[in-house]
């Protein structure tokens, strides 16, 4: 019986991105430790979410433009969240860490003691 119900619910669509988790991320990053005076945006991308924010420090963009902060990707095969940081000098995303829950990802993103996300 349960297997029949599960098959009915499987629509073939990926679980991420979705609007509920995007809103969860938006709410969670309001508790960040760094650059609390900027207004980051969370957008849906294939398999996850992209966090961007104005660059107030001018470390990355001297004009203060919008820069990539983090990429959160859900790996459906392992059921793990992957948190990526942007290497702005090379223009590539680097895997920072993997987590079993979205809440763990946003905790790391909010604390950011090494300033690898909120630069």
pLDDT 10s digits, 86-110 = 998 999 999 999 999 999 999 999 9
Give CB contacts under 8 A, 24+ apart, made by 101-109: 102/21, 102/24, 102/25, 102/72, 103/28, 105/72, 105/81, 106/24, 106/25, 106/28, 106/29, 108/83, 109/28, 109/29, 109/32, 109/51, 109/69, 109/70, 109/72, 109/83
pTM (2 d.p.)? 0.84
pLDDT 10s digits, 15-72 = 789 999 999 999 999 999 888 888 899 999 999 999 998 877 777 777 778 889 999 9
Q: pLDDT at position 63, please?
A: 77
């Amino acid at each position: 019986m349960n297997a029949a119900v599960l098959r009915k619910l499987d629509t073939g669509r990926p679980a991420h991105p979705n609007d509920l988790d995007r809103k969860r991320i938006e709410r969670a990053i309001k508790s960040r430790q760094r650059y609390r005076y900027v207004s980051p945006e969370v957008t849906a991308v294939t398999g996850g979410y992209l966090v961007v924010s104005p660059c107030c420090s001018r470390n990355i963009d001297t004009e203060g433009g919008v820069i990539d902060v983090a990429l959160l990707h859900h790996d459906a095969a392992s059921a793990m969240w992957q948190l990526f940081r942007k290497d702005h000098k090379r223009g590539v995303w680097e895997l920072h860490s993997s987590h079993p829950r979205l809440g763990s990802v946003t905790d790391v993103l909010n604390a950011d003691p090494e300033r690898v996300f909120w630069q």
